[in-house]
Structure 1
């Protein structure tokens, strides 16, 4: 049982949490339309196995960064963050749902990682010894544009390097096994 996940449960407000349904399916939705965002209505679901903690900063009528000015893009945030335990590691999945226009996606995902680093430092300060696992960041971009893939019996997630970050681009509007992203 991860002490880090216990600490997250104590510091992240419940109103920002994302919980799996009764079938252990965790669904992330892009339900709002900001400036013509055609990813409106897109989603991605994960069949959960093992212990996770998930939340979003992308909630209607919420301002998770009230100390920032209104400068364009400064308050950018990704759609969801999932912490998952596997093999003595904590995988931190930073998710972004996009349509065909991916121009701001990496900046949003990097902003999510910056926020997670702040959370990690807060845990280290207030919950001594709670982080015993290696932290592994993964950037997950889900898009409505179709991504050509080889047909295999089991889905293989391929990460590519983008300036030192492990990034996977997958189709939105479908369900995945969360464990497939934990590598």
Structure 2
């Protein structure tokens, strides 16, 4: 009983945090619906602290920098099977107001190193499909191109959406000398 281990390696490196909304293909500043899910991937060689031991050493999320909207997410953390060093936090945000939002997540490792990460997103009304950041690559193209876009339909991957794309020929104007 009692005592401390000697020769324990020091850890001064904070956890790695990656944030997404609804899907891991989400891009910072992208579009979501009014009901959207935060997906956070956390990792640290020493493990993620989920005990809440120590004042303020919880996994927390703050919406729109409002301290009244602070959520403790310790119970939402699920470690990867067979790996105490990494895991995920998933949590649903309901009935968000349309417009821009930010969300900041803070996590601690078991050596009391903390990290914070912020993500920004724009909420669009759920009633209609909304698209932003519509682009294609390569552009210009000769034989084929791929289209990318953000949308507000939570839980829907672009492969599951019925979207029609029309490609019109670029007008060629000839000027006679």
- TM-score, reference length from structure 1: 0.25
Greater fraction helix: 1
Structure number with bigger Rg: 2
